[in-house]
Amino acid sequence: MKISPLQTERLKYAPKLPGMLRHGISEICVKEGEATQSVADQEKIQALFPNTYGKKEITFEKGANTSAAKKQVVGVILSGGQAPGGHNVVCGLYDALKATNSENVLYGFKNGPSGLIDDDYLIFDDEYIDQFRNTGGFDIIGSGRTKLETEEQFKVAAEVCKKHGITAIVIIGGDDSNTNAAVLAEYFAAHETGVQVIGCPKTIDGDLKNEDIECSFGFDTATKTYSELVGNIERDANSAKKYWHFIKVMGRSASHVALEAALETQPNICLISEEVAAKKMSLSQIADYIADAVEKRAARGMNFGVAIIPEGVVEFVPEFSVLIGEINELLAGAKAEEFNKLPAWKDKYAFIEKGLTKESMAVFAILPESIQQQLFLERDPHGNVQVSLIESEKLFSALVKAKLDERKKAGTYKGKFSAQHHFFGYEGRCAFPSNFDADYCYSLGYNAFMLIQYGYTGYLSKISNLSRPADEWIAGGMPITKMMNMERRHGEDKPVIRKALVELDGKPFKYFEAHRETWAVETAYTYPGAIQYYGPASVCDITTRTLALEKGE
């Protein structure tokens, strides 16, 4: 297999570890902290996790290793969407495992959690794993979205682990995957299988974080990748001076990616879904907000600009959420078949008009026809609208154009408006990890094995103090149940890890809020450029603006 010169050099990169993990396995001891409780619904969560709830947070320090010496056979799973650095979690886990005892074994279960159920695996060795160090993607073993949540699945998983003598499973994933890790750990503990379960926090969306987990891995690399692209487009816009660029970025449930890209590039407009929801903004109000910036810039002779749109923003618009709910009801059961048999869009439109309330139809009517039709594309497995398929960047540019056309007729707007559209998503999921993510992920994997060696289960690998240089990072673990609450899912109350949304009183948003009026009217673009891997730490090891602001730096 031919590899690029950059990959050749990246394979040689030695990731940095937190200071306390650099002493050597024999010189790492545990300091236990306070007992924990879940963020909400404590009685219900405790009842569901009697064997793993309320455990203590722990940190690793320099000192004599007091863990019991035994051969460890560990299985690792990559779960959910890809995120840069996943390979280094596996590499860090492998290196710690082998440094402790060369007889230890690491199984990689293929294509996500289903690999554990199907007993589909490979056994890592030096030759194989060395091909993937510091590289992007999840192709080392593949990923998948199978959920481990049924009694039957847990039983099969226990049998597979017993067959191979597996002592621990490490699940690398986001909030849902680590919720599954907590449930699996509880099952294994309740049935005295002797198998530990450790999770690692992954998601480029940035919504798996809290007071303990400062950042999920992949967020740094993905947002730097998107910010480079946004900066490139800003430079082009400022050169051509004739287009407004509407850029949709990943982030369906939270706007961390959009906010970080805005902090890095200072666009004219950036919508924050959480603010839209808090202010109960309508589609018309959002369109007016953007159109105001277009008009003010046009008055200065600048008929160009850049707007960043979070992927899931329309779900945060109250009137749009009501519309989606009514459409889901409208096409429930046999009605969907009746709708799909209608021969032309005008017939379907009449069907829709009869089925929606007056208020929702008013919202539906202002949408461009292409967006209207997108709302009736293929449904998800539960029969609901796939909101992620809606081209919200095109929706808002069309709504803005309609507003500007009205203003032009009224004589209040004399500028020009021409839009270009972009969606940055997959471009960021498998990029070469930044030095930060390469280091952070390697540390998460190395640390995960230390949690296994010391007998912990139902814990998340935790590296903190991340805004500081790596030798000042702090390694440890926290019970996954600490992050959990109860939520309504598919008609049932389920224990889940609480998603972290953008905090409107948090420092990153407050900084953005203090500057956005200036950015909206002036051309204050900044151009981050490509991720740098070699050179001064001030360039190569910088963290995100979000994390720096949260830590007051």
54 token code pair = 């309320």
126 token code pair = 């030096």
Catalytic residue from among 95, 175, 176, 205: 205
At residue 169, what are phi and psi to the nearest 5 degrees?
-120, 135
316, 273 in Cβ contact below 8 A? yes
At residue 460, what are phi and psi to the nearest 5 degrees?
-105, 130
DSSP codes of every residue in 516-529? HHHHHHS-------
309 token code pair = 């749109």
**Spatial separation of the C-alpha atoms in residues 127 and 271, rounded to whole Å:** 47
Find the Cα–Cα–Cα–Cα dihedral 118, 150, 158, 73, rounded to 10°: 70
Strand 121-123, strand 73-78: pairing? unpaired
**Spatial separation of the C-alpha atoms in residues 57 and 175, rounded to whole Å:** 19
**Spatial separation of the C-alpha atoms in residues 21 and 474, rounded to whole Å:** 9
Is 205 among the catalytic positions? yes
334-346 burial, b for 16+ CB within 10 Å, e for fewer? eeeeebeeeeeee
DSSP codes of every residue in 97-160? HHHH-TT-EEEEETTTTHHHHTT-EEE--HHHHTTSTT--SSTTT--B-----SHHHHHHHHHH
Q: Where are the beta strands (DSSP E) in 412-509?
A: 419-424, 459-464, 474-479, 484-489, 492-497
74, 170 in Cβ contact below 8 A? yes
Token match 């497995």: residue? 381
Provide Rg for the chain, Cα atoms: 25
505 token code pair = 């009183």
Find the helix packing angle between 256-265 and 507-521, rounded to 10°: 50
Closest listed residue to residue 182, CA positions, set 157, 148, 213, 212: 148
Helices (H), 267-412: 273-278, 283-299, 318-330, 334-340, 345-355, 358-366, 369-374, 392-410
Q: What amino acid positions are annotated as catalytic residues?
A: 205
